[in-house]
Each structure stands twice: as structure tokens, then as C-alpha cells.
Structure 1
Amino acid sequence: MELLKPKIDFVFKRIFGTEENQDILLDFVNSVFESAGEPQVLSVDILNPYIDKGAVRDKQSILDIRARGADGQYINVEIQLWNRKDIEKRTLFYWAKMYSGQLEEGDPYRKLSKTVTINILDFDYIHAEKYHTTFHLREDSTSLMLTDDIEIHFIELRKLKEQSYGTQRRLVRWMLFIAGLSNEKLEELAMEEPVIRKALTTLEFLSQDAEARRLYEERQRALRDEISAVEGAREEGREEGRLEVARNLLTMGLSVVEIAKATGLPEEDILKLQKPN
């Protein structure tokens, strides 16, 4: 049986974002905190548990996981499969919404609790070799922390090379699980870690469920359509940009042949630009 990929957001939330699997989420979050040298949390309560399977039909739905730790801090976990080129602004936006959303009208600011965002990326983004990077709000020259209320983690799956890192690190084991190894490798991880065994059992159950597999394929199609639409818009923008350059070069008096070499446009497209509208 082919297992579903845990990194597909619908599957990820079904494994990590249900009330019966809060221990799985707790272990993953603590593996991130352990890797960053941050204190462990004793428990987590999921604030938006996975219930409605219909959510995967919405291309724009954000299947993140929002939780609150026993120490009062808020935690947001989200997985991103492709690079929209705006991850830092998107991260700050959703961090700010979760942070400000703690207050009701009339509440004092001192009620605000630390808010942590954990971004799992299936692409390279941060300009560092490390697969796990952590950001806080610090003073430039002294590194003095202004407040620990903001904490942002990036976990980049593609930077983890299995042969380079031992699986004795808990975060490495979870990254390998989320990345979607072969069934044999997943079994090996599950034998070493009871919580991963529970996560794998959930994944196996999902993979055998016809409705779950249908929703999984539907979500994959929606994600592919979204990627195609964005890439198409980018290509259209690039094409218009090249045409604008060609118009400018024509104005400067360059020949059609020279402009074709400079822009990569076909000569017939450049000749069309010479014709009056």
C-alpha cells in the first residue's frame, strides 16, 4: 500500500491537528524547542482541531494548527509546499493576527502572551545552511532582546540530508517522517519512537480510507492548479516586461535583429511592435 505524503497540508493537519493526537503535536513542538534550546512545554491544547474534511476543497484554505501551551504561550504550525516569494511577510501577518487576537476589547496589553510560529517549508528559503533557524526581536549591535513574545522558526525539509545527520535528534526524526520516506524507513523510525509509531498508525489508517485518499488527491489537484495559476501570471508578467524593453530599444533605434538577441523575443513579435495600433 502506498502511503499518503504527510507533508500535504490536509494529511499533516489530520495527523498533528486532532484532539486525539495532541501528544503527537506536543512531541513535534518540543522537538523544535529542543533543537532551538528553548524550554519544553508540558502540554498543548489545539485551538482549531481538524473536523471538517470539506475544508480541503477550498484552494485558499489555510490548514494550519493553532495551539496553546500549558505555560500560556500560543503556537502556530503551518506547512508550505511551494515558494510564494512572500513567506516572511505572510509569517509576520499571521503571527500578528494570533498575537493581537488574544485581546478582547478593553483588555490591557500585559495580557498578551508569547506567540510562536513554526513554518515547515518544502523548499529552500533562508540564506543559511542550517535546516532549522530561529528568529527573535533583538537590538542590532548588542543582540539585546526587546521581548521574547515573538519567536519564529523555519524548518526547511530539503536542507536535511539523511546521510549527514543522525536520527538521534528528535527534530530530525520528525522531519524525515514529514518529508515522506519509504515505508521501510518510516517503520524504522516508528520502532525507535513510540510517538512516531502513533503518527504512522494514523497515516496508515488514512492511506487505507477511500474518502481520505479522494480528498488527498483533490487537495493535490487544488495545490497544483494554484501553482500553475501563479506561474502563469509570472510568465505573463515576464513576457510583458520583455515587450516593454523591446519597445524602448526600438525607440533608441536598434535593429530588429539586435533587439531579438537582447530580449530573446521572436523577430516577428518585434516587427508587430513597429506597426501602429
Structure 2
Amino acid sequence: MTELLDPKNDYVFKRIFGSEENKDVLLAFLNHTFKNAGESLLTEIVLVNPYLDKDTPRDKQSILDIRAKTDQGELINVEMQLFNQYDLEKRTLFYWGKQYSGQLLEGQRYSQLKKCVAINIVNFKILANDQYHNVFHLREDHTDIPLTDVIEIHFMEIPKLNDENIQMKDGLVRWLLFLKGMTRSSWEALMMHEPEPALKKAMSVLEFLSQDEQARQRYIDRQKFLWDEASMIEGAREEGLKKGMEEGIQKGIEEGIKEGEAESKRKIAMNMLTLGLDQATIIKATGLTPSELEELQKEKE
């Protein structure tokens, strides 16, 4: 078997899930996602930004996400994140807000706004629990009453799929194992559990892309950009941490000097009080305030 491309690469991910000819693949994945979240299944979707052959990942600033619309007009955004760019929660809310507010044209009513769903599939751990699939809505803290159902955010953390929690009977798990990366053994394990037609099709598309020279080169270009971007972000983060530590150390030294000077003044003032010198002389000699000197006198007494 040809060495397979990594389906977590957003270029490959969009080729598999975001093409018109593979719309059934995306629909099946979304339905397993919503089924796992206890929600209604979809019957039809329309790709808002389908992958086209003229599209390439060479536009390095492009976000290769997948945007779809349901037959009810609800919007779904699916994004694969191979590397941790940090602040993903805020980034997700920012793009969700743009998608939600972008529905209305001038003069339209707020009642025309439709539900927006953001689905983040990430190759790193982000939430402090063991669940590989977390779903967030807007609810009241004490009663759990929903304010509205228009916001729905999913996080799927691929590294949380381990030998202890893998249930191959779970349809969503099988899809995420496919995305995790296909070795010969994992490929055979998926085939043993009779994958549904849509998952078989996704596996076939991945095989085809892996053997296509042009697709492989575009994959390499995109992977290199993603690695470089991740390295720059991590480098900037480490530099920021280093600078913060250095500034913290310097601040600590300065504060220590100030504390030492203050303690020295207190000791001198205490000795002068013992010698019976008047307050005006002590204040002038040490720089202490009258109230600070009064506190010292109380301590001395």
C-alpha cells in the first residue's frame, strides 16, 4: 500500500470532505457528529465553499475550512487544526460571530438569523477532560435553561482517542480514527468492522490522493507552510515566556532592593528613637513619614 497522506492536513481534509463529488462523505460525518451529540440528523447539505481544482494551498493565508448549509438554512463550519495556534476558543468565537452576523443584509430582521455550528477537529488536547467530543451551547448557569439554540460549538480532540476509550462500534470514533492517520494496521482494523459506504469512499479518496503526484506535491507545500507557521508561533511564545521571566526576575530584584532599603531605614530610625532623638531629626535623616515613625514608636513600646 502506498504511503498515505495525512488526512489531518487541511488541504487533504478539504479534498476528501469539501468537494461536491464527496458531499455524501461530509453528510455522513456530520450526521455521526450530531448523533453523538444527541441531536437531529441532516437529510441534505449544500456546500457553500466547495473545493475546486483551481484552488491550491499556495495562498498561504487561506483558511481551508468547509462551510455548508442545511436544508433549514442553518450554517455549519468545519475546520481541521493540525497544530496548536493557541487561543483557539477565542478564535472560534470570533469566526462564529462573523459567520452569524454575516447572514444579514441591510434592512433584514434579526428573526431571520439562522443557527450557526462550528466544528473544530484538532490534533492536540485543549480541554481539561477525557472526552474526545465536547459540545457547547449558551445556557443559564444555575438552571441550565438555554438562552438560544443558535450557537453550537464542537471540539473533537483526536489525541484523546486511545486504546482505553476506543469503541469501534461508535460511528464517530471510526471517522476520527480515519482522520487520526492511516497505517496498514489501522486500515485493516477499520475494514474489519465493515465501514459504512461513505467512510469506504473517504478511504478510497485518500488512497487516490496519495498516489496522485500533483496532489502529493500540494500536500507537501501545505504541510511545509503549516510546520513553518507552527514553528514561528511556538518560537514567539517561547520568546514571550523568556522575556516575561526575565522581566519578572528584574522586577523581583528591584522590589527586593526597595524592601531592603525600607528595612534599613526602619532599623536606623529605631536606633535613633532608642537614643532619644526628636521626631523631626529622625524623619529628616531617614526619609520616613510621620505615620511610619509613629508605627515604629508603637512597636518599640
**Mapped pair 1:144 → 2:145:** yes
Alignment gaps of 5+ in structure 2: 259-301
Deviation at 1:51, TM superposition (A): 1.3
CA contact (8 A) 2:82 2:123 kept: yes
Deviation at 1:202, TM superposition (A): 0.7
Report the Cα distance in structure 1 between the residues aligned to 2:90 and 2:84, rounded to whole angstroms.
Answer: 13
Deviations 1:228-253 (A, max 9, x none): 11122122222322332343344435
Deviations 1:30-49 (A, max 9, x none): 00000000000101111000
Following superposition of structure 1 onto structure 2, how do residues 177-216 of structure 1 map, counting pairs within 5 Å?
A: 177-190=178-191, 191-216=194-219
Comparing 49-58 and 168-177, the one that deviates more? 49-58
- CA root-mean-square deviation: 1.7
Alignment gaps of 5+ in structure 1: 255-277
Alignment-derived partner of residue 12 in structure 1: 13
Following superposition of structure 1 onto structure 2, how do residues 1-277 of structure 1 map, counting pairs within 5 Å?
A: 1-51=2-52, 54-190=55-191, 191-251=194-254, 252-253=256-257
CA contact (8 A) 2:136 2:152 kept: yes
Counterpart residue identity of residue 143, structure 1: D
CA contact (8 A) 2:56 2:218 kept: no
Alignment-derived partner of residue 274 in structure 2: none
Structure 2 vs 1, CA of residues 53 and 203 (structure 1 numbering), >3 Å: closer, same or farther?
A: farther
Report the Cα distance in structure 2 between the residues aligned to 1:68 and 1:249, rounded to whole angstroms.
Answer: 55
Alignment-derived partner of residue 269 in structure 1: none
Report the Cα distance in structure 1 between the residues aligned to 2:164 and 2:239, rounded to whole angstroms.
Answer: 41
Counterpart residue identity of residue 12, structure 1: F
Deviations 1:150-208 (A, max 9, x none): 11111110111145322111100100001113134224425422111111111111111
**Number of positions where the alignment pairs a residue of Structure 1 with one of Structure 2:** 254
Counterpart residue identity of residue 243, structure 1: E
Identity, % of aligned pairs?
A: 52
Counterpart residue identity of residue 101, structure 1: G
What SS does the aligned partner of 2:57 have?
Answer: helix
CA contact (8 A) 2:4 2:182 kept: no
Comparing 11-20 and 58-67, the one that deviates more? 58-67
TM-score, L = length of structure 1: 0.87
Structure 2 vs 1, CA of residues 136 and 245 (structure 1 numbering), >3 Å: closer, same or farther?
A: closer
